[in-house]
């Protein structure tokens, strides 16, 4: 195998692993215990200022 193929295979493997770690991290971010208050605030923010419910 040439150096190019070796480096490409290494980059593909490490790149896939890095993308998987970032994906799992971003999916888990909203479920961290400290984010509960922020999540509730953002979920209810769209209803502020509406008195009649329409």
The confidence score (pLDDT) of residue 12 equals 87
pLDDT below 70 — which residues of the chain? 50-54
Record the pTM: 0.61
Phi and psi at residue 49, to the nearest 5°: 85, 0
């Amino acid at each position: 195998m040439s150096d190019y193929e070796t480096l490409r295979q290494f980059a593909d493997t490490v790149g896939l692993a890095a993308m998987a770690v970032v994906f799992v991290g971003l999916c888990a971010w909203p479920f961290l215990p400290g984010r509960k208050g922020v999540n509730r605030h953002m979920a209810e923010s769209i209803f502020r200022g509406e008195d009649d419910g329409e």
